[in-house]
Amino acid sequence: MAAIKEYYTIGLHDTDAAGILYFANQFRIVHVAYERLLDRIGYPLRQIIRDTVFLIPVVHAEADFHQPLTMGDTVEIALSIAAIGESSFTLAYRLYSLDGDLVGSAGTVHVMADGKTKTPIPLPPDFKNRLRELME
């Protein structure tokens, strides 16, 4: 079950010279849902960046493109929490056309890191619990 659902319409700036979604922009698009996830669990990205007590960098990312997307196409982004570890969590994204066809998928692994030393730290219990609640 998706923890977050967002919608995004492909703009001209999202496409390459062939008029198809530029491959790197799929990560930018799914990042919209990631930011909503952080808002929903009470850890807005703007606050994390401002306070820099901890960071949550992406340490692994992958994507698959199932159908081409062009300017004007609207996709539903379904974000699910795939795994929660001691200092990391994995997110799975599925992009659907408005007709319900799977058009893309992506995954990211995030590691909680100390804001000063940039070394991994355990996920705060509250953060971990809120992710767990959305995983069910």
The 10s digit of each residue's pLDDT in 7-46 is 999 999 999 999 999 999 999 999 999 999 999 999 999 9
Listed residue (59, 56, 29, 30) closest to 41, CA to CA: 56
Catalytic residue among 14, 16, 39, 126: 16
CATH number of the domain within which 68 lies:
3.10.129.10
DSSP structure class, residue 23: T
How many structural domains is the chain composed of?
1
What's the rounded Cα separation, in Å, for the pair 136 and 117?
33
Residue numbers of the domain that contains 99: 4-135
| 99 assigned to active site | no
pLDDT-based confidence at 136, cuts 50/70/90? low
The 10s digit of each residue's pLDDT in 90-125 is 999 999 999 999 999 999 999 999 999 999 999 999
Pairing status of strand 113-114 against strand 54-55: antiparallel
